[in-house]
Every structure is written in structure tokens, then in C-alpha cells.
Amino acid sequence: MANIQLTDKAVRHVKDYLARHEGGVGLRLGVKTTGCSGLAYTVDYADRIEASDEVIEQDGVKVLVNRKSLPFLEGTEVDFVRDGLNQRFDFRNPNVKETCGCGESFTV
């Protein structure tokens, strides 16, 4: 099983979101090829579990990760951050070797 953790703030946020949106089953995390450094995180709420998903349960929240993304996310802690009117999921990934100048992509 993958070692991906949500902070307490992230767990609360996901639970609140799913309680307000009927049919949601969890938080989907992944990576895609893009940007100047090669990879970027993907975050979405999932309405169903796909056959290619690894399911990680934490404090009543399901985190769904496509198995192809697992090596890039192993050991990652995901936080939820509010900064004024902005809010986002923040990734603390020990696998990251470099990030691009804009902070949108990374290499492992």
C-alpha cells in the first residue's frame, strides 16, 4: 500500500466537500506530464473508483491514486491551505528533485 498522507486540515476539507456534493467517493490525486520541469500534480474529487486506482483510506476519507502515479507520490503529505480568498492543496513530496521557477511543475 502507498504511503500518502493527508493533514488534518486536508481531511476536514475533503469531508466537508464530499458531504455537500452527493455521489462523491473521495479525493483523486495523480501526476501528469506538463510544464517546464516535466510533471505536475492533478487533484480532483472522484465520483467512482476506477480499476486502475490504488485506494488509501485515512480518517474516513478515500484517496484514489492511479497506480502509474504512485511512484511519483510515494511518501507525499498533502495539506490544505487557505491564503486570503485563495485555497489549494499543497504537496510536500520527498521525491521532488527540482521545481520550475513558477512552481507549477517538478522533476523526480
- Indicate the DSSP class of residue 3: -
Sheet holding 5-6, edge to edge: 5-6, 77-83, 86-92
Q: What is the pTM of this model?
A: 0.85
Q: What is the pLDDT of residues 74-83, one digit of tens each?
A: 999 999 999 8
Q: What is the pLDDT of residues 1-31, one digit of tens each?
A: 568 999 999 999 999 999 998 889 999 999 8
CA 3, CA 91: separation in Å to the nearest integer? Answer: 13
* Domain 5-107 CATH class label: mainly beta
The domain locations on the chain are: 5-107
